[in-house]
Amino acid sequence: MNTLQHDKYDAVIFDLDGVITDTARYHYLAWMRLANTQGVHFDEEFNEQLKGIDRMGSLERILMAATRQYSLAEKLALAEEKNAQYVSLISNMTPDDLLPGAVQALDSCRAAGMKVGLASVSKNAFTVLDKLGIMDKFDYVVDAAKLARGKPDPEIFLKAACALDALPARCLGVEDAVAGVASIKAAGMTAVGVGERSVLAQADFVIPGLACFDLNNY
């Protein structure tokens, strides 16, 4: 990869799921199991609606299709049940689960003299980074457990920018979800979407994966 002209960005902030690694399939399996226990039909199309949405927000969407109302205590118990299943599924992750081009993309940002941040709404992000062996490639990782609002609210990206001592206008955000791209744009940052242009229409740039990540293009 080429080296960036240093006058445009001070930091690059990445999402995790679907960008650096594909934990999406583990979330899908865990949510499907929970939905089935509540008599809610759950498929890949439904799962797409949850991309970029935090745990409680995702649970609320699933339970909207249920036949009864749930108390807060029940919702919290179900969220914990889903998380336990997810944690069990990701326990066997290794660096082999990194998506193509992920390490090279992270290294290219560091080589260009920019700070590197992670903005994932997953409360298991630290565990996943540790399993992938790439914790040391980030200057700052947002602790999702301390967020007041999830994506598409800009809080998570603004928090990352602040911690990285970078103005939002001088940050590049990398996301695969519609809610995530909306969060980047609401924060006043430039957005690189990972996926399809037809889906990530709000992104400034769209690439199929990090194997195509090139700072000179943004």
Q: What does the angle CA 16 – CA 20 – CA 22 come to, to the nearest 5 degrees? A: 85
Coil/strand/helix, residue 13: strand
**Does the annotation flag 68 for ligand binding?**
no
List C-alpha distances in Å: 108 to 11, 118, 140, 152, 161.
Answer: 12, 15, 17, 27, 19
**CA angle at 187 for the pair 184 and 190, rounded to the nearest 5°:** 50
**What is the rounded CA–CA span in Å between residue 140 and residue 156?**
12
Residue 122 counted as an annotated binding residue: yes
- Exactly one of 7, 10, 15, 143 is catalytic; name it: 15
**Which SS3 state, helix, strand or coil, does residue 38 take?**
coil
**Is 51 labeled as ligand-binding?**
yes
What gap in Å lies between CA 42 and CA 32, rounded to an integer? 6
Residue 176 labeled ligand binder: yes
| 139 marked ligand binding residue | no
Q: Is 204 annotated as a binding residue?
A: no
The answer to whether the annotation marks 54 as part of a ligand binding site is yes
206 is in an annotated binding site: no
Residue 146 counted as an annotated binding residue: no
Task: Please tell me what DSSP assigns to residue 21.
Answer: B
Query: Which residue of the set 10, 17, 22, 153 is catalytic?
Result: 17
Q: Would you call 15 a catalytic residue per the annotation?
A: yes
CA pair distance 137, 22, nearest whole angstrom: 18
Provide the β-strand partners of residue 170: none
Q: Which of 26, 140, 39, 163 is nearest to 83 (CA)?
A: 26
Q: Does 7 show up as a binding residue in the annotation?
A: no
Residue 16 among known ligand-binding residues: yes
User: Is 17 one of the annotated active-site residues of the chain?
Assistant: yes
* 82 labeled part of a ligand binding site: yes
DSSP three-state, residue 96: helix
Bind-site residues: 15-17, 31, 50-55, 58, 82, 120-124, 151, 175-176
Binding-site sequence positions for substrate: 15-17, 31, 50-55, 58, 82, 120-124, 151
Looking at the annotation, which residues are catalytic?
Answer: 15, 17
Annotated binding site for Mg(2+): 15, 17, 175-176
